[in-house]
Amino acid sequence: MSVPNFPPPRDIDLTNPFWEATDQGELRLPACSVCGAFQWYPVPGFACHPEATRHWREVAHTGTVFTFSKVERAFLPFGSEPPYTLILVALDDVDNARLVTVLVGDDQDSVAIGSRVELSPTVFETHTLPTFRLSA
Ligand SMILES: [Zn+2]
């Protein structure tokens, strides 16, 4: 199994805090400064409180697989070498946002909806991706 290598854009103020945290081995998502609701992916303003500011909060490094997809063929001619498994993670302390990422580890064939996972970053030369592995 491999991990698709798509370097994140570094010229987007809206998402830079996410990638900067990921490079430090942290996981941060934007939350509404008024009610604390997470909004992922980040977009300008918050639907719940349009006047709110964005607070990047550290979130759990553990969660549950909400759904997954095993990729057997390359979708693009660059940056990805299948096979790999995409997962949608419901983080343990985040109610209203889920993270799309890649599953790593040698035991990927046992993934199922509801599998427990934990952050296991994949470090590339220029960036780090917040990949997850199945929990023991
Ligand atoms: Zn709010």
- pLDDT digit string, tens, across residues 84-113: 999 999 999 998 889 999 999 999 899 999
36 CB neighbour count, 10 Å cutoff: 12
Question: DSSP code of 19?
Answer: H
Place of tokens 């095993």: 70
* pTM to 2 decimal places: 0.91
d(CA 132, CA 116) in angstroms, rounded, equals: 10
CATH 3.40.50.10420 fits 16-134, yes or no: no
β-strand pairing of 54-58 with 98-104: unpaired
Q: How far is the CA of 53 from the centre of ligand 1 (A)?
A: 9
8 A C-beta contact, residue 3 and residue 84: yes
Q: How far is the CA of 38 from the centre of ligand 1 (A)?
A: 8
